[in-house]
Amino acid sequence: FRRAWWPYSTVLGRVPGLEGYHDVRSHPGAELLPGLVIFRFDGPLFFANAKSFRDEVLRCAHAEPAPRRVLIAAEPMTDVDTTAADILEELDAALRDRGVDLVFAELKDPVRRKVERYGLARTFDASRFHPTVEGAIEAYRSDSGANWTPADRATGDRG
């Protein structure tokens, strides 16, 4: 019950020698892409935790230097309810006001269909969904020209 209301969340980075993307708290030497935050939320997104999700993503977006894109590594998200859909719409507007794009990777098909059914297709067009985290990262790298950088240099002083 507690894990659903307050799921674990983290920023992900690339760890040389390890496949995939990993929790930067567990791997403080992880590399990041300047201008991109890869954020993972390990649970369903629903009325009880949607505001904390929003607050955590906004906290990431207010980091210095400010990111240009927040990528939600959404594979662990097993559900989205109507309250969460409303919060996602508000979050997207707040991020756009800051010049930050919100995109998703690995969102399960049933969850994406719910997002579309809740009317968020007008907010989140197909270009904002990527089948894999790797694909979303490659799209960002192609758009930005960014290269992987050790966390302490990519974020100023976070590591």
Report the domain count for the chain.
1
Q: Is residue 71 part of a domain?
A: yes
Q: Is residue 152 part of a domain?
A: no
In the chain, where does DSSP find H-type helix? 2-5, 50-61, 82-97, 109-117, 133-144, 151-154
Q: Is 145 left (phi over 0), alpha (psi -120 to 50) or beta?
A: left
CATH code, domain with 75 = 3.30.750.24
Alpha-carbon gap, residue 93 to 96, rounded angstroms: 5
Q: Is residue 102 part of a domain?
A: yes
The pLDDT tens digits along the chain (159 residues) read 556 667 999 999 999 999 999 999 999 999 999 999 999 999 999 999 999 999 999 999 999 889 999 999 999 999 999 999 999 999 999 999 999 999 999 999 999 999 999 988 888 999 999 999 999 999 999 999 999 998 765 554 333
Q: Is residue 51 part of a domain?
A: yes
Q: What residue numbers bound the domain in which 72 lies?
A: 2-147
